[in-house]
Amino acid sequence: MEKIEIKVKGMSCGHCKMAVEKALMAVEGVESASVDLEKGKADITYDPSKASVESMKKAVVDAGYQA
Ligand SMILES: [Cu+2]
């Protein structure tokens, strides 16, 4: 497992935080995702053999935010 921090823009409330976490958790290989709303970042633990940084960023973008 590896850890990464991705910057996420466009979040404004707790619902946004939940939406981004849910989108990240839906990516295959992502074990956990914790979004910090105030700092605008997501701490992700993932399996690099299954999940790529690009696929995680795409999930955030598809959810309606900027990664
Ligand atoms: Cu919101």
Tens digit of pLDDT for each residue in 1-46? Answer: 999 999 999 999 999 999 999 999 999 999 999 999 999 999 999 9
Q: What is the pLDDT of residue 48?
A: 97
Q: Which domains does the chain have, with CATH numbers?
A: 2-62 (3.30.70.100)
Residue 43 Cα to ligand 1 midpoint, Å, equals 18
Residue ranges of alpha helices (H) inside the chain are 14-25, 53-62
Alpha-carbon distance of 66 to 23, in angstroms, equals: 13
Residue-level pLDDT at 56:
98
pLDDT at res. 16: 97
Surrounding residues of ion ligand 1, Cβ less than 5 A: 12-13, 15-16
Q: Using CA atoms, how far apart are residues 67 and 47, in angstroms rounded to an integer? A: 19
Cα of 20 to ligand 1 centre, how many Å? 10
**pLDDT at residue 37, rounded to an integer:** 96
Q: What is the pLDDT of residue 14?
A: 97
Q: Dump strand ranges (E) for 1-67.
A: 2-7, 30-36, 41-46
Which pLDDT score is estimated for 33?
Answer: 98
